[in-house]
Structure 1
Amino acid sequence: MVKALQWSPGFRIECSIRNNWDRPAYTEWEGETVTYAEVARRIARIHAQLEALGVTRGDRVALVGRNSNGWAITFMGIITYGAVVVPILHEFKTSNICHIVNHSEAKVFYLTQSYWEAITESSVPHVRAFINSRTGVPFYIQGDDSVKIELARIQQRTWEEVTPLSLRYYHGMGDELAEINYTSGTTGFSKGVMQPYRALASNIEFASGVLDLHPGDTVISFLPLAHSYGQAFEFIYCFCRGNHIHFLTRTPSPKIIIEAFAAIKPRIILLVPLIVEKLYRNNILKILNRRGIKLLMKMPIIDKPVLRKFQEALTTLFGNNFIEVIIGGAALNPEVELFLKRIGFRYTVGFGMTECAPIITYASWATHKLYSSGRAVVNMRVKIDNPNPLTGVGEIVMKGDNVTLGYYKNPEQTAASFTPDGWFRSGDLGYLDAEGNLFIKGRSKNMILGPSGQNIYPEEIEALINNQPYVQESLVTQRNGKLIALVVPDMARLDAEGIEGITDEQKERIIAETLEKVNEELPAYSKIATVQLYPEEFEKTPKKSIKRYLYTK
């Protein structure tokens, strides 16, 4: 019981505000900064609003918007009140947002102006009030005038009476529902993942043991806060440590990210592989491909100072102040990872999913094993279900405090997601080595059977294709019994080399060279039969995984 309270999100948030009262809490990059004291006063206003609207503990409250001070404070206000927060990804279409609000039966909806303009009250009839998450001012209130008058009075108060000693937040624990997180997976179906307080608490406990952050340390938040990866480790944990969280309010292009790293010098960095791979292509690969550098990299003695120069340059690029760079959300390209390992860059790769809020496996950069996703974290167990007797590959399943209660209003899907003895099915294929390091092969639903029953993992072939010149990204699928590779050309590189448009002859050359080089490295049963150029980037989920179902029909 004492341990559960110690890691309760409400308790940790309360303690952090009390201990860091005058420190900066949130900053919108090149914009407004709010202190922990200001966060406390705005949380008090949110609590008063929810109470006036008749929201009780366990009621659902929805929240949509881009990462911002207002979003962060609203999330904190909902969860410390004891309501169930329903964070909605800002990239969702209006129809999907309304579906989530209705499906979760949210009583109050916090949103920004642009979303309010796109949503009608009749499309979400159960919502009692629509409130601007940036200003706290209601857009629309159902009910009699007394509620409207009370909300107006709440808005006018300064809340100066809120002090460090007056804080009394709700300390949710155990299996009590804290959050319903609607996924945007690669299947196209959005499911409401029920995350209990124990899962959020377990993530805080894990991070406290491996990420040594201190009050005042700076952090950049650019992963979507409605997604569990960024929410857990760029937001909740960092707030609980008294960090200064900077919200990158622009689209996180490699150029913008590098500018932010230089200006903010973050202490911890979370990235998805796509961003790492773009930074590698744009800033490293061109240098590596120079003839003289290639030669030096192959010389046993001379290569060490060259590798050290790369390590220093990349560390500077990332702000030169970080403990480590944690990469997760999808598979990292093996070529990129090998380079990072060779130069001694402080990176690691973890494995997680929304259904585990999200962390499952991790190893620090100093102990991380090449191509692995680390070992099971505190409060979690991982094993391989029905492993192949020759390869050891099977479905990755897990048990522990981080695991979801199931899917909201979907008992059939919940039952199908657990083994009879209670292990959660990840849907990912992989194997464990003798030390317990997890190696991921791909998604079980993506696996393709070869002509003689061989297992073909399209993600591994895509990694080879993506290493080819002029290839930005690719997707491998099976059509009429043959493997087809859809390839998006790297237009930025073509433009940089003075090629203004792709001629038919150049298209044929790209196709022929890609096919030849990739097939040289593949066994006969997994060779690509055809390469087709695709004219635009593939549509992706918030964690930058390709929505494969759109292209594999």
Structure 2
Amino acid sequence: MVSFKKLTIKDILFRSRMVYSNKPALSFVGKEPVNYADMAVIVRNISGMLNTLGVGKGDKVALIGENSPNWGMAYLAITSMGAVVVPILPDFSGQEMESIIKHSEAKVVFVSAKLYGNLNRRNLPNIIAYVLLNNLQPFDEDSITPVANIPYETPKVQVNVDYCNCELPSPEEDDLAAIIYTSGTTGRPKGVMLSHKNLVSNVLSTLMIQEVNEHDRLLSILPLSHTYECTIGFLIPMATGATVYYLDKMPTPSVLIPAMQAVKPTMILSVPLIIEKIYKNKIKPELTSTPLKRKLYNFAPTRKLLHRIAAKKLHKTFGGKIHFFGIGGAKLSFEAERFLYEGRFPYSIGYGMTETSPLLTGSSPKLVRFRTAGFCIPGQELKIHNPNPNTGEGEILVRGANVMQGYYKDPELTETMFLDGWLRTGDLGFVDKDGYVELRGRSKNMILTASGENIYPEEIEDVINKHEFVLESLVYEMKGKLIAKVHLNKEALDSYIENIKKSAKDFQHNAEDYGQKVLNDIMNFVNSNVSKFSRLSKIVEQPEPFVKTPTQKIKRFLYKDKD
């Protein structure tokens, strides 16, 4: 059982250095890993460097870069000396990055060579130093201008005499550890303040439902600057002696599959979109490619058998050793989860938010219950506020050591998030008799009909996305009617039209005619599979993929009331 003298990130680092000294900690795929003992030396040197630059306890340090061992060591160095890390998503624009740096009052910026060009130093006059993430060395633009293709290198593993004599401050449990700026789906970025206790308590609570140990290998494919990957995919492995591997290229299939074969990961964290694409673009087409296969697939017993065979193949593609495939960040589609569940793939769905460090609910793969997000993890509390007397549904409220300190420089917004000491999640859900949480959708997205019925757009979207020609969708209300935007699967649609051309002797219609016919078919399909008050009045094509948040939720505010 993992335990610490104090719930601080420094205590995680200290214990791991002692217990797992010779075990590999961080590595790029195919490169030499840094072990825990060497990592501790490098982290100490970085902390000493920051202290020499003028960074003290409570000072803010921005961290901008792609996933890498150096990113992780910079994070540990900043937080273990009592400073506050401000991880910034690499997908943010330069203007957004600069805005966050200024709002957080960061004194030093760690930045990768690839992203340095996004920043205009003239707009950041209060930064006292820049540190190149690729080699963890300070640099002055007058003497060096980083170019995007500078490779990553691990600093030398020797105590730096220039820094070893400085006395570094130690963080306390309630000290601020990180400020996380999220884009969210509302378009209003917020700086979530997380303490050492918030983060480390969530590490310990999560380990109570899912074991992670020194034999585990985690392949990291989600951005470390998001709390989901940082806490579950970085701090937990660092606390348990596991090894984390990073990709040095974008996680395309041509990069990801060889990496999985090389690492043979035991654990992977994912957002729903990844497994949904694999299922819809690869697995389902193979299982329904002929009329006979489609007939067999529509018969439950044979569908389950086919799912079992396909899941075994997917497990082998992923390296053959995975025992935990964690999914979070958004709701997984019905069809994709049915494939995982019936195929007995070792998946688990968790639910949380940045404001809760992040995990609130989850389970081990052996305890997964279909279409739920698991149960409230130990050490935290969850309840339903003002539940509907007929359905038991209501807003999910939570409290515990994992709940944020508040929003940075925004006490008014912070106050609106709490009700009698409970954090308001803004999510609607239901807790069954066994404690499993079923999510319905965001309370701000819920549509109340004139007859008093509650409509959850996410549930209608789940039905829409089952259609073979739909990749993703968004449902909203306009003038009392339900409208759906759909982004079509062009590859499947083009194949469909081509087959019609070949088989129809008097083919006279063009692609647009059949495109509209498909939209009509989708609406008929949806309206025959939802309740009367959830039926669509109009469906329109969304030509481009929807703009999404880092956890791949559609930014709804960009699309409502646009027609």
- After TM superposition, the score normalised by the length of structure 2 is 0.89
Q: Residues 52 and 172 (structure 1 numbering): CA distance in 2 closer, same or farther, change over 3 Å?
A: closer
Secondary structure of 1:436's counterpart equals coil
1:306 Cα shift? 4.1
Counterpart Cα distance in 2 of 1:215 and 1:167: 32
After superposition, give the CA deviation of every residue in 1:144-183 in whole Å (9 maximum; x if it has no partner).
xxxxxxxxxxx9x9562489xx999866443221111111
Counterpart Cα distance in 2 of 1:217 and 1:133: 26
Alignment equivalent of 2:522, drawn from 506, 510, 514: 514
Q: Tell me what 2:158 maps to.
A: 160
Letter paired with 1:115:
L
Which stretch of structure 1 is more off in the superposition, 199-208 or 168-177? 168-177
Which stretch of structure 1 is more off in the superposition, 234-243 or 100-109? 234-243
Counterpart Cα distance in 2 of 1:248 and 1:498: 39
Contact 2:183 2:549 in 1 (8 A): yes
Alignment equivalent of 1:546, drawn from 540, 546, 554: 554
1:304 Cα shift? 6.3
Contact 1:519 1:527 in 2 (8 A): yes
Contact 2:264 2:320 in 1 (8 A): yes
Contact 1:192 1:407 in 2 (8 A): yes
Secondary structure of 1:309's counterpart equals helix
Q: Tell me what 1:83 maps to.
A: 83
Contact 1:470 1:494 in 2 (8 A): yes
Letter paired with 2:117:
E
Contact 2:219 2:263 in 1 (8 A): yes
Q: Residues 489 and 174 (structure 1 numbering): CA distance in 2 closer, same or farther, change over 3 Å?
A: same
Secondary structure of 2:365's counterpart equals coil
Which stretch of structure 1 is more off in the superposition, 69-78 or 24-33? 24-33
Counterparts of 1:364-375 in structure 2, within 5 Å, are: 364-375=364-375
Q: Aligned pair 1:181/2:211, yes or no?
A: no
1:510 Cα shift? 1.2
1:19 Cα shift? 3.2
Counterpart Cα distance in 1 of 2:262 and 2:536: 45
Letter paired with 2:321:
N
1:214 Cα shift? 2.7
Counterpart Cα distance in 2 of 1:401 and 1:410: 21
Q: Residues 385 and 84 (structure 1 numbering): CA distance in 2 closer, same or farther, change over 3 Å?
A: same
Which stretch of structure 1 is more off in the superposition, 279-288 or 95-104? 279-288
1:503 Cα shift? 1.6
1:493 Cα shift? 3.1
After superposition, give the CA deviation of every residue in 1:82-106 in whole Å (9 maximum; x if it has no partner).
1111101111111111111111111
Q: Tell me what 1:478 maps to.
A: 477
Contact 2:82 2:175 in 1 (8 A): no
Contact 2:29 2:263 in 1 (8 A): no
Contact 2:4 2:11 in 1 (8 A): no
Q: Residues 527 and 126 (structure 1 numbering): CA distance in 2 closer, same or farther, change over 3 Å?
A: same
1:57 Cα shift? 1.1
Counterpart Cα distance in 2 of 1:10 and 1:487: 48
Contact 2:48 2:168 in 1 (8 A): no
Q: Residues 300 and 275 (structure 1 numbering): CA distance in 2 closer, same or farther, change over 3 Å?
A: closer
Q: Tell me what 1:354 maps to.
A: 354
Counterpart Cα distance in 1 of 2:498 and 2:68: 39
Q: Tell me what 1:152 maps to.
A: none
Contact 2:6 2:173 in 1 (8 A): no
Q: Tell me what 1:363 maps to.
A: 363
Letter paired with 1:134:
N
1:341 Cα shift? 1.7
Counterpart Cα distance in 2 of 1:497 and 1:42: 57
Counterpart Cα distance in 1 of 2:296 and 2:65: 49
Q: Tell me what 1:150 maps to.
A: none
Q: Aligned pair 1:209/2:208, yes or no?
A: yes
1:16 Cα shift? 1.4
Q: Tell me what 1:425 maps to.
A: 424
Q: Residues 385 and 316 (structure 1 numbering): CA distance in 2 closer, same or farther, change over 3 Å?
A: same
Counterpart Cα distance in 2 of 1:302 and 1:506: 32
Q: Residues 181 and 416 (structure 1 numbering): CA distance in 2 closer, same or farther, change over 3 Å?
A: same
Letter paired with 1:399:
R
Secondary structure of 1:118's counterpart equals coil
Q: Tell me what 1:451 maps to.
A: 450
Q: Aligned pair 1:240/2:239, yes or no?
A: yes
1:185 Cα shift? 0.2
Q: Tell me what 2:534 maps to.
A: 526
Counterparts of 1:101-180 in structure 2, within 5 Å, are: 101-140=101-140, 160-161=158-159, 172-180=171-179
Contact 1:175 1:405 in 2 (8 A): no
Letter paired with 1:429:
L
1:26 Cα shift? 1.9
Which stretch of structure 1 is more off in the superposition, 199-208 or 427-436? 199-208
Letter paired with 2:450:
P
Secondary structure of 1:446's counterpart equals coil
Q: Aligned pair 1:282/2:289, yes or no?
A: no
- After TM superposition, the score normalised by the length of structure 1 is 0.90
Q: Aligned pair 1:318/2:318, yes or no?
A: yes
Contact 1:427 1:444 in 2 (8 A): yes
Letter paired with 1:503:
A
Q: Tell me what 1:147 maps to.
A: none
Letter paired with 1:525:
F
1:71 Cα shift? 1.2
Q: Residues 169 and 14 (structure 1 numbering): CA distance in 2 closer, same or farther, change over 3 Å?
A: farther
Contact 2:93 2:118 in 1 (8 A): no
Secondary structure of 2:12's counterpart equals helix
Counterpart Cα distance in 1 of 2:211 and 2:251: 26
Secondary structure of 1:5's counterpart equals coil
1:30 Cα shift? 4.2
Q: Tell me what 2:543 maps to.
A: 535
Which stretch of structure 1 is more off in the superposition, 58-67 or 497-506? 497-506
Secondary structure of 2:131's counterpart equals strand
1:32 Cα shift? 5.8
Identity of aligned residues (%): 37
Counterpart Cα distance in 1 of 2:303 and 2:479: 47
Q: Residues 27 and 196 (structure 1 numbering): CA distance in 2 closer, same or farther, change over 3 Å?
A: same
Which stretch of structure 1 is more off in the superposition, 341-350 or 461-470? 341-350
Q: Tell me what 1:345 maps to.
A: 345
1:483 Cα shift? 1.2
After superposition, give the CA deviation of every residue in 1:249-287 in whole Å (9 maximum; x if it has no partner).
333345543333222211112111111101111222113
Secondary structure of 1:192's counterpart equals strand
Contact 1:451 1:525 in 2 (8 A): no
Secondary structure of 2:425's counterpart equals strand
CA RMSD in angstroms, aligned pairs only: 2.8
After superposition, give the CA deviation of every residue in 1:356-403 in whole Å (9 maximum; x if it has no partner).
010001122212211111111111100011111111111101000110
Counterparts of 1:255-334 in structure 2, within 5 Å, are: 256-289=255-288, 290-296=290-296, 305-334=305-334
Counterpart Cα distance in 1 of 2:317 and 2:57: 46
